[in-house]
Amino acid sequence: MPHIAVTIGAGRSPRQLRTLLHEVHAAVLRSVDTRPEHVRVVLHEVPRTHWSTADTTLAELDQEPVRPTGPAEPTTPTEHTTPAEPATPAEPAEPTTPAEPAEAAGEREPS
């Protein structure tokens, strides 16, 4: 019987937590030869004041201003050129198989 323990900082919505439980359960079923009723998932929510990394609690990190995560601006100008002729369109892709149903893909609505 697989038993999975997940520890997460408090603050997620009940829907997010239910989705997490469902996705972990589905991942175990995809990865391990077991029956669904044998999979146990336990979710531990830790208050954000009780979890720290590098001597800073999650609550303290929540108070820090959000820093941009995009690429840094270039420090030197870059030369922009345009092609003399437009690029030719790529060959059409091979037909793909239809997407699997949402429930089979583990994307069903959490109950």
pLDDT per position as a tens digit, 89-106: 455 455 444 444 444 444
Please say whether the beta carbons of 41 and 4 come within 8 A.
Answer: yes
**Phi then psi dihedrals of residue 98, to 5 deg:** -60, 150
User: For residue 52, what are its two tokens?
Assistant: 């720290």
Which pTM value belongs to this model? 0.57
Tens digit of each residue's pLDDT (9 = 90 or more) over 32-64: 999 999 999 999 999 999 999 999 999 999 998
